[in-house]
Structure 1
Amino acid sequence: MSTIVVAHTVKPRHTRRWLDGVVLIVVLAVLWQVLSELLGPDAITTPWRTLERAVHIVSDPDFPASLYVTAFAFGSAFLISAIGGVCLGMLLGARKLAGDVMEPLMMGFYSIPKVTLYPVVLLAFGLGLWAKIVFGVMHGIVPITIFTMNAVRNMPPIYTRAARTYRLSPFAFARHVLLPACVPEVVAGLRIGFSLTLLGTLIGEMFASQSGIGHMLMIAMNRSETSTIMALALMLFVFATLVNLLLLAWQRHLTHST
């Protein structure tokens, strides 16, 4: 009987979320249309015109190559940010003194506009793939590290005492105790790091690249092609939103299961 009641309460909740999402999309589309009418198509194209342009871009024979370049650079940058940020965050969280010293340094570095560091990146790595990857990592690794470090700090002390009792090695302690206990907060950091790494990779493509979606955006900006800019921005927005929703659902599942 209790299972039936739970099923009946969960189903309306999911239905309500879907309805709220649909209502939000409709409201945003209406506001978008109103802004386009007020400001004119040269400033903001209509939703329908933007969708048409997006379909035209996707059907272009050169688009898959640009998508592959951006996806490879972003995927590499996010992988480095995720692994490096989680490992560094666990280390700094477990070592309180090191964490207290490094946290203000990382926050100070993160407060610097990354565009000002781009000449240094170009001098160190040159034009091409590695500059985009490094620029993406610069944006994404710090929030992942901070979230992971705070998750380790907030872990119940009983876990550490139990690990010492069983005389676990540092690697076994990190693998079997730290990471499982901190997974929900780590996933929250990955959500933030995902969006910021994507932002950094695209900015890197806009400044010094001959291919990729960021390069397409820069060309459209130089030509004042508002419809292309809006279409590419819409595609990136949809992609980032869907991935963030998946990560959010994973985070909620982990939070409820722990």
Structure 2
Amino acid sequence: MSELSFDHKQKLIPRRHFRAFDAVVLTLLMLTFWQVIGSWTQGVAVSPPLPTLVYLGDLLATPMFWDHAAATLEAFLLAFVLSALIGLVLGLIFGIRRFTGEVAEPILAGFYTIPKVTLYPVVLLLFGLGMSAKVAFGVMHGLVPMTLFTLGAVRNLPPVLIRTARVLRLSPGRTMRWVLVPACLPDIVNGLRISFSLSLLGVLIGEMFSSQRGLGFLLVNGMAQHNVPLSTAVVTVIVVMAIAANTLMLRIGKRFAQRADTVAG
């Protein structure tokens, strides 16, 4: 009985405490590595943590920073929504139509491996400078993984689900909405998480090459002026935003996966 009660108490220890401890340790290791790199380069390539945070505090108090941040957020949200919606629809269609999916999948995978920077002249010719080019870069990065994740999720579904939808004579739209999307939701959320990160990367690249507003432009401007604290502060903001958003979406994906396992069980 004592061993059972001990095991029971051990199981009651919240896992979030261990996760918080791991997060603190990882953060300290990253700050230590950051400090080592900053000290080794003497602030020429990377500004150390404390000066960067002080500079970042002053930067956050300026309207200029928030103007650039708003430009990046606007372009990113538009690119992410387009990537998610178009990728979801294409993935569902390619998943249902097996032959079309088998033809499209290697094409998408091949396009995914191409460095998108090489398509920079084409994007500029088609979309010009400004918002449209940034959004195009974001969609080019985020669309393919969303499509492939959804395509793979539909392929792994039990065939009885699609057969049942056909027996019930559901339209393609209702089949996607009522059958495929709920069944593929965990994988779709994972696809959204990857698409989120890559869409943000694409928008930042677009700002670095084809815009005069946004965090990407601010980063390049700091590099051109050899303003190391500015460049390091902008990179810090981008990294913190990406880690926070990915952590949130990862937790959401795990919850959907647990619910799906519960329903399946």
TM-score range, shorter chain: over 0.9
| Partner secondary structure for residue 237 of structure 2 | helix
Q: After TM superposition, give the deviation of residue 46 of structure 1 in Å.
A: 1.0
1:144-163 pair list within 5 angstroms: 144-163=146-165
Q: After TM superposition, give the deviation of residue 43 of structure 1 in Å.
A: 1.8
Counterparts of 1:115 and 1:6 in 2: how far apart (Å)? Answer: 55
Q: After TM superposition, give the deviation of residue 172 of structure 1 in Å.
A: 0.8
Counterparts of 1:143 and 1:182 in 2: how far apart (Å)? Answer: 15
Counterparts of 2:247 and 2:18 in 1: how far apart (Å)? Answer: 16
Confirm whether residue 177 of structure 1 aligns to residue 158 of structure 2: no
* 1:114-172 residue CA offsets vs partner (Å, 9 max, x unmatched): 11111111111111110110111001000000000000000111211221222211111
Counterparts of 1:135 and 1:217 in 2: how far apart (Å)? Answer: 17
Which stretch shows the higher mean deviation, 156-165 or 187-196?
Answer: 156-165
Aligned with residue 76 of structure 1, among 75, 78, 90: 78
Which stretch shows the higher mean deviation, 93-102 or 105-114?
Answer: 105-114
The runs of 4+ residues in structure 1 deviating greater than 4 Å are 5-8
Counterparts of 2:65 and 2:188 in 1: how far apart (Å)? Answer: 34
* 1:227-258 residue CA offsets vs partner (Å, 9 max, x unmatched): 11111001000001001001000000001111
Which stretch shows the higher mean deviation, 243-252 or 56-65?
Answer: 56-65
Aligned with residue 226 of structure 2, among 224, 227, 245: 224
Query: What residue in structure 2 maps to residue 65 of structure 1?
Result: 67
Counterparts of 1:99 and 1:226 in 2: how far apart (Å)? Answer: 47
Which stretch shows the higher mean deviation, 244-253 or 104-113?
Answer: 104-113
Which stretch shows the higher mean deviation, 176-185 or 34-43?
Answer: 34-43
1:33-182 pair list within 5 angstroms: 33-182=35-184
* 1:38-71 residue CA offsets vs partner (Å, 9 max, x unmatched): 2221122111111112112111121221111111
Counterparts of 2:49 and 2:203 in 1: how far apart (Å)? Answer: 26
Which stretch shows the higher mean deviation, 42-51 or 156-165?
Answer: 156-165
TM-score scaled by structure 2?
0.92
Query: What residue in structure 1 maps to residue 20 of structure 2?
Result: 18
Counterparts of 1:247 and 1:10 in 2: how far apart (Å)? Answer: 26
Counterparts of 1:160 and 1:57 in 2: how far apart (Å)? Answer: 54
Query: What residue in structure 2 maps to residue 234 of structure 1?
Result: 236
| Partner secondary structure for residue 145 of structure 1 | helix
Counterparts of 1:107 and 1:35 in 2: how far apart (Å)? Answer: 36
Query: What residue in structure 1 maps to residue 3 of structure 2?
Result: none
* 1:163-193 residue CA offsets vs partner (Å, 9 max, x unmatched): 1222211111100000000010011111111
Q: What is the CA RMSD across the aligned residues, in angstroms?
A: 1.5
| Code of the aligned partner of 1:181 | A
| Code of the aligned partner of 2:86 | G
Counterparts of 2:149 and 2:206 in 1: how far apart (Å)? Answer: 25
**What percent of counterpart residues are identical?**
44
Query: What residue in structure 1 maps to residue 250 of structure 2?
Result: 248
Query: What residue in structure 2 maps to residue 198 of structure 1?
Result: 200
| Code of the aligned partner of 2:19 | R
Count of paired positions = 254
Counterparts of 2:26 and 2:150 in 1: how far apart (Å)? Answer: 32
Q: After TM superposition, give the deviation of residue 7 of structure 1 in Å.
A: 9.6
| Code of the aligned partner of 1:27 | L
| Partner secondary structure for residue 218 of structure 1 | helix
| Partner secondary structure for residue 62 of structure 1 | helix
| Code of the aligned partner of 1:156 | P
Q: After TM superposition, give the deviation of residue 35 of structure 1 in Å.
A: 2.0
Unaligned runs of 5+ in 1: none
| Code of the aligned partner of 2:106 | P
